[in-house]
Structure 1
Amino acid sequence: MIRATERLFLSAALPAVLAACSTTSGYPSLAQRDVERIGGSATPIAGEQTPEEPALPPASADLVTRLDGLVAAAQQTDAQFKEQQGPAERAVAGAAGAAVTSDSWATAQIALAALESRRGATVAPLAELDTLYAEARDAAPLEPSPSAQAIEKSRTQVSDIVARQDGVIESLAARLRS
């Protein structure tokens, strides 16, 4: 039987004996090769021009039609907003100084809510334009494509309508609170 000290000696000597059996002749060297060294320069060859990037295609007819439809939808809801704006202004003026529990104040609140509803209908095309713009910018992230520019133009038109509606609603709400 092998004693504990012999077992300890054999377990310590085993890695050394196995290392002696190995060889390095069949494996490539890990030293740096000539082709791995950096050489040359980054200067272009004289007379050689870098190719220009191809121009991005113009906005498609389908996209332009869709944008026109979204702007038209926003303009239509704006026309409805303007129709409701006059009665809302009269209702708010009639509620000036009235108690919060009065019928005139409730009528003014309902008219203001109708305006906010029309504004919400105007924001829907703006949200779709925002989505289209984000997709167009993802497709050409370095510079705005003609499609992104067309979308931005429509976004600006609809955003201006929404901003004007916001101003009207804020003004009427402030008059109603005071």
Structure 2
Amino acid sequence: MIRAKARLPLVPPAILLALPLALLASACSTAGRYPSLALRDVERAKPVAGDPAPPVRPLPPASASLVTRLDGLVAIARDADRQFQAQRPAAERAVGAAGDVGSDSWSTASVALASLESSRSNAMAALGDLDTLYVDARTAGALEETPSAKAIAAARDQVNGWVAAQDDVIAHLSARLPG
């Protein structure tokens, strides 16, 4: 005699997956109070009326060694600007008298212009050092304008003014030079 095998009913796979998920979801629920959704003090963008203002601590001044270094960099740029201004009249005369490309007068004007660019290079090197100091000070101050960053910015602005004026002169003379 042949016996029929007992067949179990097939359970759809979706139900098999849903059962463990339901058990996991029920384990996450809490019995009791839920946390408040109200703004916490830390989440407030602006202080609420009645909140005490945070104390403002004065920042320490820039260190003496930084001030000395800034003075040195500004002095280098000032000397470069003096040298530039001393050479400027001769370069202007040479460019004004320059002849055709390749002539002696054109070569003299080109050399005078190169001399101006060379005297500007020390000011640009000082400006590069000031830029590096400024970035380091701002990074260390965590976006806060520290006295060190302010002192560096002031020196940087002064040197940048000299370099920008020198750039204008060189661009003007270069445009006038034939060729």
**TM-score grouping bracket, smaller chain normalisation:** 0.7 to 0.9
2:153 counterpart letter in structure 1: E
Counterpart position of 1:81? 84
| Cα deviation 1:98-134 (Å, max 9, x = unaligned) | 2112111011111111111211221111111111111
Report the counterpart of residue 127 of structure 1 in structure 2. Answer: 128
- TM-score, with normalisation over the residues of structure 2? 0.73
Q: Tell me the percent identity.
A: 46
- Are residues 41 and 83 of structure 1, via their aligned partners in 2, closer, same or farther at CA, if it must alter by over 3 Å? closer
Q: Distance in 2 between matches of 1:83 and 1:39?
A: 69
Task: Tell me which residue corresponds to 1:55.
Answer: 58
Question: In the TM superposition, what is the alpha-carbon distance from 1:36 to its structure 2 partner?
Answer: 2.7
CA distance in 1, matches of 2:49, 2:93: 76
Question: TM-score normalized by structure 1?
Answer: 0.73
Cα distance, 1:41 vs structure 2 = 7.2
| Distance in 2 (alpha carbons) for counterparts of 1:142 and 1:36 | 34
Equivalences for residues 83-162 of structure 1 within 5 A: 83-95=86-98, 98-162=99-163
Residues paired across the two proteins, number: 163
CA distance in 2, matches of 1:40, 1:169: 59
Output the amino acid matched with 1:70.
L
User: 2:95 touches 2:106 (CA, 8 Å); kept in 1?
Assistant: yes
Pair 1:40–1:163, CA change in 2 (3 A): closer
Q: 1:57 to 1:108 in 2, by over 3 A?
A: same
Output the CA distance in 2 between the equivalents of 1:29 and 1:64. 60
Aligned match of 2:30: 31
Aligned partners of 1:169, 1:44: CA distance in 2, in Å?
Answer: 56
Change (3 A) 1:33 1:106: farther
Is contact 2:62-2:151 (8 Å) kept? yes
The SS at the match of 1:75 is: helix
Q: In structure 2, what is the Cα distance between the partners aligned to 1:40 and 1:159?
A: 46
Structure 2 letter corresponding to 1:121: N
- Superposed CA RMSD in Å reads 3.5
